[in-house]
Structure 1
Amino acid sequence: MPIRLVDRNPVVPADQLIANMVPPTMFDDVSFASYIPDPAEPTQAEAVAKAEEFAGKVGKIRSGGKRGLFGKKTQATGAGLYLDGGFGVGKTHLLASIYHATPEPKAFGTFVELTHVVGALGFTKALEEFSNHSVLCIDEFELDDPGDTMLVSRLLTELSGRGVSIVATSNTLPGQLGEGRFAAQDFLREIKKLGSIFEAVRVDGPDYRHRDLPPAPDPLSDEDLTAAAERIENASLDDFDELVKHLSTLHPSRYGKLIEGVEQVFVSGVHAAPDQSVALRIVVLADRLYDAGTPVTVSGAKLDELFTEEMLQGGYRKKYLRATSRLLALSRFASV
């Protein structure tokens, strides 16, 4: 009998939130050496070199510092690196490689996860907990929520002053290089006090998740979907409307725990998200599914029809395109 995600109500204790900030399992074994730059995209090789150089700085900064007039050692300011590029060019691979190459304690999470942690712990507690870290790796830094951006900017400013190095990635639309550079400038402008230590590095290239791959599989019928879910041990099977309703009752920081131990997710009756709040919850769930490498199979609409054209033209366009890219990749790994 398949698992029903809607029957799960996971709880993540506050003291585990930061401890759980590690790279997704699919990036457990990545390194700078395992990133294979595309010869046609010279910025990729340059980004690898910059990332490796940055990782080398981190340990020196934490163990370094300057002697003051009375011999007291002051902590050096943390270093900063900003990897800017399109979807699926390997920025997260480089981010995880930096994480693996730097000393403990350290933390890795998406911008959304970081805001959830700060919200759950409170600003002062979060600052205290992160202050002893060598590096904070932030994937998918976003500028679409001014409140969250300023909150995290303040946190990063404080942490950098305490010697914590910061590395962040962002997503820009493929082929829109100007937009990517403007995004980098927006980011640097938002965190003015950090701007002088951040080095923005461009990473160009096509989305590797769809490189030379066929389109995602067509949705199954409801009957075939149920039969497939019943054949796979530890698979989940939920109705789309029931699932998104259940997601609204959970804090997004609990979505990862929601799918823990699930081998494959099956969702029936998929259709376009009715509003932005539902769409944004789907984005977070898609990210957690992708982090876990959990295949997805659906009935109803295709996975590239989850977000309406109006949504794709709005301020959350990048989030929706990223989620679509990830869900399509996961659908190709599915067993049916």
Structure 2
Amino acid sequence: MLQRLVDRHPEVPADQLVAQMVPPPMFDEVSFASYIPDPAEPSQAAAVRTAADFADQVNRIFKGNNKKGLFGKKKTAQGAGLYLDGGFGVGKTHLLASIFHSAPAPKSFGTFGELTNLVGALGFVNAVERLSANSLLCIDEFELDDPGDTTMVSRLLTELSAAGVSIAATSNTLPSQLGEGRFAAQDFLREIKKLGSIFNPVRVDGPDYRHRDLPPAPEPTSSDELVERATATAGATLDNFDDLLKHLSTLHPSKYGALINGISSVYIDGVHTVFDQAVALRIVVLADRLYDAGIPVTVSGAKLDEIFSTEMLDGGYRKKYLRAISRLLALSRFEAAV
């Protein structure tokens, strides 16, 4: 009998949120050596060298902070900061995961959304206490969507850095430009400058590797074919698009990873363009979790690159939506090749 995501109601205890902050499975074995720089993009080779040097710095700081001086524990050295800025699919997450693998435990790796979810689940003080023992905190896809998140993350990173935790992040926007064009409040701008001072920004240029030399996204299948293919795929789920969107609204985004745990492939019937911002942002989180887990996606209805309306793609969350499209297309191509 076919499984449905809408029948799953995962529970994730708050104390497991820190333990599960590790790189996605597809980045379990990556290293600086396995990153292949594009010869046409010299910034990539330079970024690999800088990231490797940063990893060495993380180790030195952590080792130094855990040494006791002649008269007891010496003053804690501030953590280092590295910010990898670049477009979609240029290998920033590969480099971030390589930094993570090179650092001593304890350490944490998560997306910006996962970090804010962690703080929401544990509470600010508890989150600081749990993360302050880290040698490193890696934040993938650093984004600022509202002043509240900005203030909270700024406080969190400032306290962790002072506690000796080094911080590495990736984004598609330089730290000094995060939130640009969306918020004009003076408090917000002040927090942005504070965040920018934590990081040493490094640019990683190049085309999206997920789409290099690849054909356009596969055409959606018919509903009948979708059911047939889902039925023939062990461990797959088959859901109606609207039913799935409704189910996502009942789950905290921190549970989306558990929602798809153990699934081999996801089949979605009746995909159409979404016009509601809240619904679209849930799709973004689900797309991130599917991509992290490397789960193929096949749909009927509209093409995956038509899932967000033109108005949304022209709005303040444009980069989120473009990233989600990029990742969904990669997953749909993967399924087509299987």
Indicate whether the TM-score tops 0.5.
yes
Matched, 1:307 2:333: no
- Which blocks of at least 5 consecutive residues in structure 1 are unaligned? 173-179
The CA distance in 2 between the partners of 1:227 and 1:241, in whole Å, is 20
The one-letter code matched in structure 2 to 1:100 is H
Q: Hey, what does 1:128 align to over in structure 2?
A: 129
The match for 2:201 is 200
The residue type equivalent to 1:59 in the other structure is N
Distance 1:236 1:71 in 2: 57
> What secondary structure, in the 3-state scheme, does the structure 1 residue paired with 2:38 have?
coil
Q: Give the Å deviation of 1:20.
A: 0.2
Letter in 2 for 1:255: Y
Partner residue of 1:275? Answer: 276
Counterpart check, 1:35 vs 2:29: no
| 1:51 has 2:45 as partner | no
By how many angstroms is 1:273 displaced? 1.1
Does structure 2 retain, via aligned residues, the 8 Å contact 1:141–1:168? yes
In structure 2, C-alpha distance between the alignment counterparts of 1:280 and 1:137, rounded to whole Å: 22
1:327: which partner in 2? 328
TM-score (norm. length: structure 2): 0.93
Query: What percent of counterpart residues are identical?
Result: 72
Instruction: Give 3-state SS (helix, strand or coil) of 1:18's partner.
Output: helix
| Structure 2 letter corresponding to 1:156 | L
Q: Which residue of 1 aligns with 2:116?
A: 115
**Per-residue deviation, 1:144:** 2.4
What letter matches 1:115 in structure 2? T
Whole-Å separation in 2 of the counterparts to 1:42 and 1:184: 25
Q: SS at the partner of 1:213?
A: coil
8 Å contact kept, 1:150–1:190: yes
Count of residues paired in the alignment = 329
Q: Answer yes or no: is the 8 Å Cα contact 2:143–2:178 preserved in 1.
A: no
The correspondence of residues 86-235 of structure 1 with structure 2, limited to 5 A, is 86-172=87-173, 183=177, 190=191, 192-193=193-194, 195-235=196-236
Tell me the CA shift for residue 274 of structure 1: 2.9
Displacement of 1:171: 1.9
Check whether the contact 1:62–1:75 (CA below 8 A) recurs between aligned residues: no
Give, as a single letter, the amino acid of the residue that structure 1 aligns with 2:230: A
Give the C-alpha shift of residue 62 in structure 1.
1.4
| 1:212 match: secondary structure | coil
Q: Give the distance between the partners of 2:208 and 2:258, measured in 1 at CA.
A: 28
User: Unpaired segments of 5 or more residues in structure 2?
Assistant: 181-187
Instruction: Give, in whole Å, the separation in 1 of the partners of 2:82 and 2:137.
Output: 11
Deviation at 1:131, TM superposition (A): 0.5
Which residue in 2 is equivalent to 1:3? 3
Counterpart in the other structure of 1:316? 317
- Tell me the distance in 2 between the aligned counterparts of 1:103 and 1:191: 29
After alignment, is 185-194 or 93-102 more displaced?
Answer: 185-194
Q: Residue 201 of structure 2: SS of its match in structure 1? A: strand
Aligned to 2:185: none
Q: CA deviation at 1:189?
A: 6.1
The one-letter amino acid of 2:89's match is G
Give the match for residue 177 of structure 1: none
Secondary structure of the equivalent of 2:137?
Answer: strand
User: 4+ residue runs of structure 1 moved beyond 2 angstroms?
Assistant: 65-72, 180-197
* Residue of structure 1 equivalent to 2:244: 243
Report if the CA contact (8 A) 1:219-1:302 is conserved.
yes
SS of equivalent residue, structure 1 residue 103? coil
Deviations 1:275-297 (A, max 9, x none): 00000000000000000000000
Hey, what's the Cα distance between the residues in 2 that align with 1:199 and 1:63?
21
When normalised by structure 1's length, the TM-score is 0.93
Partner residue, 1:175: none
